[in-house]
Amino acid sequence: MKHQEAVMGAYRIIGGKEASGEVSISGNKNAALPVLAATLLTNEPVRLSNIPDIEDVQVMIQLLRHLGSLVVKEDAHTYVITSGERIGDLKRNLVEAVRGSILLLGPLLATMDEVLLTPPGGDVIGLRRLDTHFIGLSALGADCSINE
């Protein structure tokens, strides 16, 4: 009797044909959030396209607006962001709503002397580490401390 493995699901791909055509790749959160944060590094307008219309992206955009960035939505997936002088801070309820808010630390530290960040929200802290961000910023000369 042959051993059969329980398979919950599978993809069957049949080749043998020449590959041709065009594919539109949708944007994703893991690419969009760092790029949104990087807009803080310039005062020039930055046009971003293929940005997914998801909650984490919308919260990051709210954080940018609260910091003083002008965010213009051109269409469902395109934004023009102009970051000027910082007029706000990192709003606690927004930081706690999205784990990706930690990505704002680097660009903010590049343009400011000090940043105070509430612990980011998202998954349980133990599942995805934050200390790699602090280690990287420390290696670049920042003094990072965690307070209760």
Q: Which positions are annotated as active-site residues?
A: 123
Q: Could you tell me if 55 and 84 are in contact, meaning their C-beta atoms sit under 8 angstroms apart?
A: no
* 100 token code pair: 């990706």
SS3 category, 126: helix
CA-CA-CA-CA dihedral for 134, 45, 30, 57, to nearest 10: 100
Give the CA diameter of the chain. 73
